[in-house]
A and B are shown apart, each in its own frame.
Chain A
């Protein structure tokens, strides 16, 4: 194994910036976040990086490593080619604040618009494991926003006004499929959150560090709910007849 790596880290802010090179000694099992910490401690104490747990549980340290959206705490240096510089850039979908830190506040605003969990009145709090299994998958989400970053509807088309992104389809799916939840978010999915804009390229699923089957288990069932509600030909006919009366 090489004993040194070169990192090319984006340095800059909202006005612009450029990659800068740093040399970092390699230790066994080292991850990219370790390398960034080394740079902070020895070369650039003002290098801005978000991180908290360093254990892939908090989803703070998202960035693009060699162009791939990754949690830097989970990206092993020995899994990267060290014969050329490792590039580390901020998530492209969100505005840069400084260096690797981006402004992800849009996500928090979207979350606020989702109708919260609303149990049926007087409900018995009994649930069975087989009923919660599929929702527990959605609850694994650590909000790293890598799925938001990679989704082309947000990344390339910047449709933040009309599309909530994979993260929040996962969240809505967790609420819609909760056995004791009592409100519908289907209209919002269609009208506010733009579930129809997703064309199932599964990029989100590929980058999810929690291995949530975002497209298959969350988005497609939600699309089906919208279709059932709004586009079912039989229901449409019934509505038409009822409306004609």
Chain B
């Protein structure tokens, strides 16, 4: 023991309190583990609350022909077959049970006339599959999980930020963090750790993501020696708000299109007819985002550089019932009444398909005792995620991570804390207070977003990516000289200085992976390599890992799909 630090000990430590983290916590508790959940924000505020459209699960409440096989096929095709097939299979098979469970814990979904959970259409899904509550499904989900977990009895560390994973030899031993309120450090000793920290959207200026989305979990795992995968695949959601400037990037749910919304350019053309005449507005997100981008680039965009999305042909009451938060969002923030006229929308950085490389069954990373689930993990979505598959991902793999983490904690002996690791992390964390002539972290953050947005955006080229990497090197150097003003008490500037370390790491991983993948697949579009390359790149994943102080990139073959699933994928293309 070392009484310099506040120390807590648990079997399972969960970093992140969104859908995946809370579902993992509930499962680990059910297994009898002592569980701690660490959250960068207050409980119930995680990015999951912003999920709007629904949870994809082949329950066949509306379209009776739906089943897990179709959901599996849709997910694999949406991901351009780069998905971890086993994850896609487990996900499709288990999602309905996970949704039913939520209902049994008190969630109230919209209903069919038969009294079942109502399901709506969404991009890339062959059937009406998304279980939803108007356009606030994520809120319903997080509140349900939060209340369930609180009453089961996990310990919550709110407004606590993890800055380092601790290791005991090759296995995980817990984490080291700090309380935002007082700026005090805290040691969280645990035999198993679940990373459920979400994505990396704050590497981009135009993003639907909240301030928390700085790639922390991926960077922590990477620092600890874990492998990341598929980092080149960053999803730009086709419909973010574009005006006014303060709300640029804010999500406009795909449910608008699911409920019949139509996209037009400034000439009034329904341009999706050109890009995907079969699926139109309900094509996959990568296709719709690129289509809007091209329309704007070729001069057919709206006044503020977007496309028009119109749902006003539906009865006003229907729009207000099915899309209430969209109605309010546009009315209050953009002075637009969406029951009367179109919204202006454009692509916004929304999600990263890449993340910590994990085993499908257990969600375990390449480090013993370190698990990852939800957006922080890679594999399920391949090269492009379908809408609605994220909430189901959180439930299915959150549960699996919690289960496996609890089992791991039961079987391994006690772990030891190495205070040398803690001292190093503490020194790094406090360094910006010493740099009286250093740089403002907000300026560096803005410059990073500029590099990522212009050079590693929707369309990529070798020249841009090479330039991005050299710019990132400069930013990394600047990051060693950040300056923090004020005290350690709830200090956002200090916090950002730490977030930037994660952001720079994941940004480099995205740029390196994107440069390596010389093809266009799903969300990764190379202007210099516009086609799919099935022979080489269709068969391998990019992996990122740490090699001393530098980043190592390598390729591994994708997991071979078993014959019966191959046949399934070959059916009715």
Q: Distance (Å) between the CB of B145 and the closest chain A CB?
A: 12
Chain B residue with Cβ nearest A45: B493
A53–B47 alpha-carbon span in the complex (Å): 7
Q: Distance (Å) between the CB of A90 and the closest chain B CB?
A: 12
Residues 40-91 of A at the B interface (beta carbon under 8 Å): 40-42, 44-60, 74, 76
Contacts of A101 in B (CB 8 A): 490
A187–B116 alpha-carbon span in the complex (Å): 32
Beta-carbon contact of B246 and A111 below 8 Å: no
- With A58-B45, A128-B115 already in contact, the answer to whether A116 and B148 are too (CB < 8 A) is yes
Q: Distance (Å) between the CB of B120 and the closest chain A CB?
A: 14
Beta-carbon contact of A55 and B329 below 8 Å: yes
Chain B residue with Cβ nearest A126: B115
Chain A residues touching B, range = 35 or more
Chain A residue with Cβ nearest B251: A55
Q: Is there a chain B Cβ closer than 8 Å to A106's Cβ? A: no
Q: Is there a chain B Cβ closer than 8 Å to A28's Cβ? A: yes
A residues with a Cβ closer than 8 A to B are 13, 27-31, 34, 40-42, 44-60, 74, 76, 97-99, 101, 104-105, 108, 111-112, 116-117, 119, 125-129, 132, 135-136, 139-140, 142-143, 175, 178, 181
Contacts of B42 in A (CB 8 A): 50, 60, 104
Contacts of B493 in A (CB 8 A): 40, 45-46
- With A46-B494, A55-B329 already in contact, the answer to whether A117 and B143 are too (CB < 8 A) is no
Residues 30-82 of B at the A interface (beta carbon under 8 Å): 41-47, 49-50
A53–B443 alpha-carbon span in the complex (Å): 21
Contacts of B442 in A (CB 8 A): 40-42, 45
Number of interface residues of B (CB under 8 A): 68
Q: Is there a chain A Cβ closer than 8 Å to B371's Cβ? A: no
Chain B residue with Cβ nearest A129: B111
Given contacts A29-B333, A45-B440, 9 further A-B contacts (CB under 8 A): A44-B485, A45-B496, A52-B46, A58-B50, A74-B332, A111-B147, A112-B151, A129-B113, A132-B108
A15–B402 alpha-carbon span in the complex (Å): 42
Q: Distance (Å) between the CB of A165 and the closest chain B CB?
A: 16
The one of A28, A57, A98, A140 that contacts B50, using a Cβ cutoff of 8 Å? A57
Q: Is there a chain A Cβ closer than 8 Å to B130's Cβ? A: no
A129–B116 alpha-carbon span in the complex (Å): 9
Q: Is there a chain A Cβ closer than 8 Å to B139's Cβ? A: yes
Ranked 10 nearest A-B pairs via Cβ: A29-B244, A46-B486, A45-B493, A117-B106, A126-B115, A41-B442, A48-B490, A98-B490, A52-B210, A129-B111
Q: Distance (Å) between the CB of A201 and the closest chain B CB?
A: 25
Contacts of B151 in A (CB 8 A): 112, 116
19 contacts between A and B (CB under 8 A): A29-B244, A29-B334, A30-B246, A31-B246, A40-B492, A45-B441, A45-B442, A45-B491, A48-B489, A50-B42, A52-B46, A97-B490, A111-B147, A127-B115, A132-B111, A136-B110, A139-B140, A178-B108, A181-B106
Chain B residue with Cβ nearest A55: B250
Q: Is there a chain A Cβ closer than 8 Å to B100's Cβ? A: yes
